[in-house]
Amino acid sequence: MSDAPDLPPKPRARAERVSLWRHMRLFRQDILSAQPARLYRAWMAEFRTPFFRSYLVNQPALVDEVLKARPMEFPKSDRVGEGLRPLLGRSVFLTNGAEWQRQRRIIDPAFEGGRLRDTFPAMWAAGEAAVARIGEGPREIEEDMSHAAADVIFRTLFSLPIEDEVASAVFHQFRAYQRSQPILNAAAFLPLPRWMPRGHRAQTRRTARAIRDLITRLTATRMAEIAAGTAPDDLATKIMTTADPVTGARFTTEEMVDQVAIFFLAGHETSASALGWALYLLARYPEWQEKLAEEAEAALSPGPDFAVMGKLRLARDVFRETLRLYPPVPMMVRETTRPERFRDRDLPVGSQIVLSPWHLHRHERLWENPDGFDPARWQTENGKTCLREAFVPFSAGARVCTGAGFAMVEGPLLLAMLVRAFRFERVAGRDPVPVAYLTVRARDGIWLMASRR
Ligand code: HEM
């Protein structure tokens, strides 16, 4: 951990030179502490393994090239999705090319700005439910935030609170899935040849099936409601009634199940991780927490109106700063489809391109005070430049997170509602240690003392 007492927790980097086998072992434990410190200063790094080459791209212009300029030439690597395929099928998160483009044409309209305003009352209701649910005393706050974020997804997608029997069953099965299915990206970095069978554990497959059965029930019911003209006007209805502007086709129930599974997974694990870290940072820097509580009290007292989002400036900056320091998706992987020349290196076809929000967000040559918590940075010149050029918690370009706008409403709103209601303090001896599982999480959870204001 970091030695400086005023900096938030950062995994200790590994030694500069280690053997491949040691690297693999470290990697299995945690992809963050498996990396050397020089990646916080490098523009690019190469990892040679006996089976494939992997390049970490850590320079804004190169990141833009891959994500924004030529995204179709850098598809997602198959390896990344391996652990998730039993659960996500052919969801938009895993597909590439024409299939992916078609799916985005149907999904994107549901997440446009105007629709966000429509989902706001459901988010507010989930925030109120979280405030009512959280008790006083020492708490593992990640668990609370998972619960709250799952509630947001069910309310906005299916107009159901998490207390609903099916919603609650999906939530619990997802937790089991996450436990049985370790690190998302490990397969993409581990130097295993493609022919080596990796297989999914029986438990993973069983849990995936149980989740998909439950989601199929929700989706089939909704199909029937749409046909009967009785469906509520929420995200699921919007997506299921949108025809592809090119082919005119809509999602079948099966296709919609794949998409619901990814909305649920991508939408609640990530937001929960960010909210948990945000509350920890506010507990660690109480002067910021007090400022935020004041802002929240003034902004939220008029009640649930989308206009409050314009007033939650500090909440937004705190949430942004959290996404910078603890990006829920720490790394992303793409593959080259033709020979590339990046900086002075030739990259063969089939190379893995690793984009690392974790390293880019703490890049020592780009950010002032890269490891410090400073929500005020976003008002400075350096902060504004880096926001444009070196801040990619939601990825960027055509394949940017569909839920980015959604998350930037949900995160600041829930943060403000929680800090308005509670004071959060650190629990002595229980500061969290960041590790990368499916998302960046705390190794032993995030323990905070909650007391009502
Ligand atoms: C703080 C919250 C969130 C963060 C940090 C986040 C981050 C990301 C990132 C980095 C990606 C790109 C992954 C890659 O290309 O390898 C992504 C993709 C995606 N996210 Fe999010 N996400 C968040 C919330 C949400 C929410 C709330 C939803 C939906 C309700 C969502 C749905 C998706 C989907 C469907 C994709 C796949 C897009 C595609 O590949 O075309 N995310 N997210």
For 112-131, write each residue's pLDDT tens digit: 878 889 999 999 999 999 99
User: Could you tell me if 293 and 453 are in contact, meaning their C-beta atoms sit under 8 angstroms apart?
Assistant: yes
Nearest CA to ligand 1 atom 41: 399
User: Could you tell me if 10 and 1 are in contact, meaning their C-beta atoms sit under 8 angstroms apart?
Assistant: yes
Residue 91 token pair:
């969801």
**Position with higher pLDDT, 183 vs 43:** 43
The pLDDT of residue 95: 92
Question: Mean pLDDT throughout 349-366?
Answer: 93
- Ligand 1 contacts CB of residue 93 (under 6 A): yes
User: What is the β-pairing status of strands 352-355 and 332-335?
Assistant: antiparallel
Q: What is the pTM for the complete model shown?
A: 0.92
Residue 224 token pair:
């029937």
- Ligand 1 contacts CB of residue 434 (under 6 A): no
CA distances for 240 relative to 159, 160, 216, 262, angstroms: 14, 17, 13, 15
Residues ≥6 apart with Cβ < 8 Å to 247: 102
Query: Average pLDDT over the chain, rounded to whole?
Result: 88
Ligand 1 centroid distance, CA of 206 (Å): 25
Note the pLDDT tens digit of each residue in 259-318. 998 898 888 888 999 999 999 999 999 999 999 999 999 999 999 999 999 999 999 999
Ligand 1 centroid distance, CA of 268 (Å): 10
Ligand 1 centroid distance, CA of 428 (Å): 34
The rounded distance, in Å, linking the Cα atoms of 3 and 13 is 13
Which amino acid is located at 176 in the chain? Answer: A
Reply yes or no on whether the pLDDT at 191 is more than 70.
no
pLDDT-derived band at 397 (thresholds 50, 70, 90) equals very high
Nearest CA to ligand 1 atom 11: 401
The pLDDT of residue 192: 45
User: Could you tell me if 240 and 206 are in contact, meaning their C-beta atoms sit under 8 angstroms apart?
Assistant: no
What's the DSSP call for residue 426?
E
Residue 425 token pair:
């303090």
Reply yes or no on whether the pLDDT at 167 is more than 90.
no
Reply yes or no on whether the pLDDT at 185 is more than 60.
no
The pLDDT of residue 37: 84
Nearest CA to ligand 1 atom 17: 401
Ligand 1 atom nearest to 157, measured from its CA: 30
CA distances for 67 relative to 63, 226, 335, 338, angstroms: 6, 37, 12, 16
Name the region of 20 (left: φ>0; alpha: ψ -120 to 50; beta: rest). alpha
Ligand 1 centroid distance, CA of 410 (Å): 14
Reply yes or no on whether the pLDDT at 194 is more than 50.
no
pLDDT-derived band at 170 (thresholds 50, 70, 90) equals confident
Note the pLDDT tens digit of each residue in 19-59. 666 666 666 556 666 677 888 999 999 877 666 778 999 99
Ligand 1 centroid distance, CA of 361 (Å): 17
- Ligand 1 contacts CB of residue 271 (under 6 A): yes
Least confidently predicted of 48-52, 187-191, 436-440: 187-191
- Ligand 1 contacts CB of residue 155 (under 6 A): no
- Ligand 1 contacts CB of residue 110 (under 6 A): no
Note the pLDDT tens digit of each residue in 56-108. 999 999 999 999 999 999 998 776 666 778 888 899 998 999 999 999 999 99
Question: Mean pLDDT throughout 252-262?
Answer: 91
Ligand 1 centroid distance, CA of 87 (Å): 16
Reply yes or no on whether the pLDDT at 344 is more than 70.
yes
User: Could you tell me if 35 and 14 are in contact, meaning their C-beta atoms sit under 8 angstroms apart?
Assistant: yes
Ligand 1 test: best mutation among 76, 184, 270, 324, most atoms within 8 Å of CB? 270
The rounded distance, in Å, linking the Cα atoms of 416 and 396 is 27
Least confidently predicted of 85-89, 108-112, 348-352, 379-383: 85-89
User: Could you tell me if 49 and 20 are in contact, meaning their C-beta atoms sit under 8 angstroms apart?
Assistant: yes
State the residue for tokens 């801040």. Answer: 391
Question: Mean pLDDT throughout 370-375?
Answer: 97
- Ligand 1 contacts CB of residue 412 (under 6 A): no
Reply yes or no on whether the pLDDT at 409 is more than 80.
yes
